[in-house]
């Protein structure tokens, strides 16, 4: 994919984010999807806090199989409290909770919610992570 070295810059661009979301929806092979995830891998955390980049992370989570987005899940879960309490990041937490299927990942999310319950419940964005987990029964 010729776009790979430029994925981060395109992701945080108000002009590039929409076409990139369309491209993500069109990717069919595992190889294409892995190339895209590898292209954003080093910038996932920055994208989670960017009002434009977050849309790319959400689109990848909703369009790709869980084993392909494990790098994204790992970043989100490793920084759970910080991301959940952020006005951009909490959208991604919600998306991940809705799409997560593997018990291992569900348990990791529940561990983070229970360990950070007080900090999450008292934050207007973090609170939504708890509500979402309850809604989807994890």
**DSSP class of 63:** H
* Interval 78-104 mean pLDDT: 94
Average pLDDT of the chain?
Answer: 93
pLDDT beyond 70 at 71 = yes
Position 127 scores a pLDDT of: 94
Q: Answer for the pair 66, 73: CB distance below 8 angstroms, yes or no.
A: yes
Distance CA 76, CA 54 (A): 12
Radius of gyration of the chain (CA): 15
pLDDT, tens digit, 9 for 90 and up, residues 102-135: 999 999 999 999 999 999 999 999 999 999 999 9
* Interval 35-42 mean pLDDT: 94
Q: Answer for the pair 82, 119: CB distance below 8 angstroms, yes or no.
A: no
Q: Answer for the pair 50, 88: CB distance below 8 angstroms, yes or no.
A: yes
- Among 26, 27, 43, CA closest to 35: 27
pLDDT tier at 69, thresholds 50, 70, 90: very high
Any idea which of 2-6, 57-61, 99-103, 126-130 has the lowest mean pLDDT? Answer: 2-6
User: Domain 4-135 belongs to what topology?
Assistant: 1.25.10
pLDDT beyond 60 at 61 = yes
Position 138 scores a pLDDT of: 66
CA dihedral 50, 51, 55, 60 (to 10 degrees): 10
Instruction: Show the tokens assigned to 129.
Output: 């992570």
Its pTM stands at 0.91
Distance CA 14, CA 123 (A): 28
Domain borders along the chain are: 4-135
Q: Answer for the pair 20, 55: CB distance below 8 angstroms, yes or no.
A: no
Distance CA 100, CA 133 (A): 11
First to last CA, the chain: 36
pLDDT tier at 6, thresholds 50, 70, 90: confident
């Amino acid at each position: 994919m010729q776009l790979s070295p430029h994925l981060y810059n395109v992701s945080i661009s108000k002009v590039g984010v929409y076409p990139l979301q369309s491209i993500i929806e069109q990717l069919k092979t595992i190889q294409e999807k892995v190339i895209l995830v590898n292209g954003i891998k080093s910038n996932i955390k920055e994208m989670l806090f960017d009002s434009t980049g977050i849309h790319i992370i959400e689109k990848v989570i909703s369009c790709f199989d869980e084993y392909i987005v494990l790098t994204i899940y790992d970043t989100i879960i490793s920084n759970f409290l910080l991301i959940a309490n952020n006005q951009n990041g909490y959208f991604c937490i919600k998306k991940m909770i809705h799409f997560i299927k593997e018990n291992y990942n569900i348990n990791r999310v529940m561990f983070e919610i229970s360990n950070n319950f007080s900090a999450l419940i008292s934050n207007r964005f973090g609170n939504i992570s708890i509500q979402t987990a309850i809604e989807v029964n994890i």
